[in-house]
Amino acid sequence: MENLTPATRQLLTLVAVSCAPLFLMGQASSHPHAGTVTHLAYWLTVATAAILLVIAARNVARDLRQ
């Protein structure tokens, strides 16, 4: 962790925070009475978390090479 820049550490924290609601949102979207908005919110959260995870992985790889 010493090799990571402060921006990368902050990005990793952001990834963790964006992944936190996925469990509850997954349960809500699988409910029989869940509507379209619930499903859209869940998949938007999944997509955001995945994009942030890819960016964070690239930043970590870059920081470890330096």
**What's the structural domain count of the chain?**
1
Instruction: Please report, to the nearest 10 degrees, the dihedral formed by the alpha carbons of residues 27, 29, 34, 39 taken in order.
Output: 170
In a domain, 37, yes or no: yes
pLDDT in the model for residue 47: 92
pLDDT in the model for residue 25: 83
pLDDT in the model for residue 59: 92
Q: Residue 47 class from Cβ within 10 Å (0-12 exposed, 13-18 middle, 19+ buried)?
A: exposed
pLDDT in the model for residue 1: 64
Residue 54: domain span? 6-65
In a domain, 17, yes or no: yes
pLDDT in the model for residue 58: 93
| Per-residue pLDDT tens listing for the chain (66 residues) | 678 889 888 988 888 888 888 888 888 888 888 888 888 988 998 898 899 889 999 999 998 888
In a domain, 1, yes or no: no
